[in-house]
């Protein structure tokens, strides 16, 4: 399923709020905003950290680069979060956000290969390629 066709479930899991707004961006750069159900069954959030979009937006490009380097060096999510907490007295990012960020890093690294094929490619290009001797790849699916 293409990302543009994916329908996210955006209502609150905690209180089943039915508020719904649809926003469309057209190729010409115009926006269309439609409020489908404008009533909430709860008070506004008092803390922006309640919303993943706001937590992720708090990360700068430099932060994202640090996170990427840490993960590529083999750091755990706990270590990455600790580094961010040391950098910022108040860190809005939670572990779940970092796990999602790691998924993006891995997907980018795999470049639409299977994890097994990516491993074979990595071994072949590394200095350890002599450990694989006779192998055959079955490209039939």
Instruction: Indicate whether 1 belongs to any domain.
Output: no
Give me the long-range contacts of 87-96 (CB less than 8 A, separation at least 24): 87/63, 92/48, 92/49, 92/54, 92/55, 92/58, 93/55, 93/56, 93/58, 93/59, 94/49, 94/55, 96/52
- 62 and 37, same structural domain? no
Owning domain of residue 35: 11-44
- 72 and 123, same structural domain? yes
- 87 and 36, same structural domain? no
The CA distance from 57 to 97, in Å, is: 11
- 114 and 75, same structural domain? yes
The CA distance from 112 to 57, in Å, is: 26
Contact between 98 and 104 under an 8 Å Cβ cutoff? The reply is: no
Mean pLDDT of the chain: 78
* pLDDT tens figures, 26-83: 888 899 999 888 888 877 777 666 677 777 777 888 888 999 999 999 999 999 999 9
- 82 and 39, same structural domain? no
Instruction: Indicate whether 74 belongs to any domain.
Output: yes
Instruction: Indicate whether 78 belongs to any domain.
Output: yes
Q: How many domains does the chain have?
A: 2
Q: Which of 103, 128, 108 is nearest to 118 (CA)?
A: 108
- 77 and 30, same structural domain? no
């Amino acid at each position: 399923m293409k990302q543009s066709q994916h329908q996210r479930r955006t209502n609150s899991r905690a209180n089943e709020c039915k508020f719904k707004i649809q926003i469309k961006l057209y190729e010409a750069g115009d926006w269309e905003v439609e409020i489908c159900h404008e009533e909430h069954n709860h008070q506004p959030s008092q803390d922006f950290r309640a919303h993943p979009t706001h937590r992720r937006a708090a990360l700068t490009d430099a932060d994202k680069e640090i996170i990427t380097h840490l993960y590529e060096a083999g750091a755990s999510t706990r270590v990455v979060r600790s580094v961010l907490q040391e950098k910022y007295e108040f860190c809005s990012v939670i572990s779940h956000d970092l796990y999602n960020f790691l998924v993006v890093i891995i997907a980018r690294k795999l470049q639409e290969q299977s994890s097994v094929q990516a491993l074979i490619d990595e071994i072949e290009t590394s200095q350890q390629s002599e450990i694989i001797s006779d192998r055959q790849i079955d490209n039939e699916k």
